[in-house]
Structure 1
């Protein structure tokens, strides 16, 4: 009986906090703070790259249970398959790609980073779950031939799990085209969002975004 009560207390507390923080969303918005609104994108304020998902549909999409984090079921938390185009105007200039995934509706002062990947080869125009298997943790290398940076939970990828009753959360999957390969020291250092934001200044050729959303409710 005691164990059952404890298990019920956790979601009830999360629900209460979620409801309280939801009110603050009307006061403060993170819409002006995603990665692609940083100083490196001043010359390219509008998206020019189209991103699609073969398994989740066009943007804006809905993330179903298999794409959400569930601590009890390891088969959940799947990374969506993504593919994008390379505009003809920059095709000969692109040296590599960067991918960052952020929660735009996190109850904090900045978006939560769910995934950060750099050094994606210029010829690679898609990613799938198998690409994110670690082949060298020390050098942050993944099976897809690129590197992972530091996300908010210090993992390779953290699947969405919005707070109970906090409302709909939008997840922004942003692909950035770069005119130069980033320094390998940076790629192997599990660098942060801030470090990459600084490193790509003057290198951005274009970008695109695919958005998907989900919500967790407990009545």
Structure 2
């Protein structure tokens, strides 16, 4: 696997196609997103990594400053921007009640998400899927992006419910104004 990682070393998705760069998800960068488990730009522990590489796949603690008045939902997107694909891999996509204020470790678990958390489809499946980069590919950056939406993602009968859409189909179609947003980057390397 190390050889494959080295061969793909110059191939990375980058930030161009992240949720953060979508015109419909632009907004003031006024939310501060933090974690007790890692600092911005710092390494994530094996506990938060995929089981396929020996981790526990436990989503990290996340906390944020109070969203603006009028926030109907928070949208959390976790993306690996260093995956050797054309676009970042979405490791988690979730809607969160704006009254939550934080998520404890494991709150994004597929089988038992925390109260106020609604898990949507990610590239890999529902729920949190921790880092599991190819060995030898170098450091991967995992961007946790939080968006304060002025209106909930609706389930009108004329559209596919958000729960059923793939991330790359859902994210560009969000029409709710973004009142604030913030991001936090964790890293992991094998």
* Interval of TM-score (by shorter of Structure 1 and Structure 2): 0.7 to 0.9
Q: Which residue of 1 aligns with 2:6?
A: 19
- Superposed CA deviations along residues 99-120 of structure 1, whole A, max 9, x for unmatched, are 01000100000000100002x1
Q: Which runs of 4+ in 1 moved over 6 A?
A: none
Match of 1:95 among 50, 66, 72: 72
Q: Which residue of 1 aligns with 2:132?
A: 161
Q: Which residue of 2 aligns with 1:208?
A: 182
Question: Closer, same or farther in 2 for the Cα pair 1:191/1:144, shift >3 Å?
Answer: farther
Inter-partner Cα distance in structure 2 for 1:72 and 1:162? 9
Higher fraction of helix: 1
Inter-partner Cα distance in structure 2 for 1:129 and 1:23? 33
Tell me, yes or no, if the aligned pair for 1:61 and 1:212 is still in contact at 8 Å: yes
Shift of 1:202: 4.3
**Equivalent residues in 2 for 1:68-217 (5 A)?**
68-71=49-52, 76-86=56-66, 91-118=68-95, 120-134=96-110, 142-184=113-155, 186-187=161-162, 189-216=163-190
Inter-partner Cα distance in structure 2 for 1:48 and 1:79? 23
Q: Which structure 2 segments of 5+ residues have no match?
A: none
Q: Which residue of 2 aligns with 1:6?
A: none
Tell me, yes or no, if the aligned pair for 1:182 and 1:199 is still in contact at 8 Å: no
Return 143-152 or 203-212, whichever deviates more.
Answer: 143-152
Tell me, yes or no, if the aligned pair for 1:127 and 1:144 is still in contact at 8 Å: no
- Superposed CA deviations along residues 6-40 of structure 1, whole A, max 9, x for unmatched, are xxxxxxxx211111110334xxx512221110121
**1:196 aligns to what SS in structure 2?**
helix
Shift of 1:122: 1.8
Q: Give the TM-score normalised by structure 1.
A: 0.76
Q: Which structure 1 segments of 5+ residues have no match?
A: 1-13, 136-140
The alignment covers a number of residue pairs equal to 186
- Superposed CA deviations along residues 56-95 of structure 1, whole A, max 9, x for unmatched, are 2x2122112212113375x6222110000125xxx22211
Tell me, yes or no, if the aligned pair for 1:178 and 1:200 is still in contact at 8 Å: no
Q: Give the TM-score normalised by structure 2.
A: 0.87
Shift of 1:206: 1.6
Q: Which of 1 and 2 has higher RCO (CA within 8 Å, sep 6+)?
A: 2
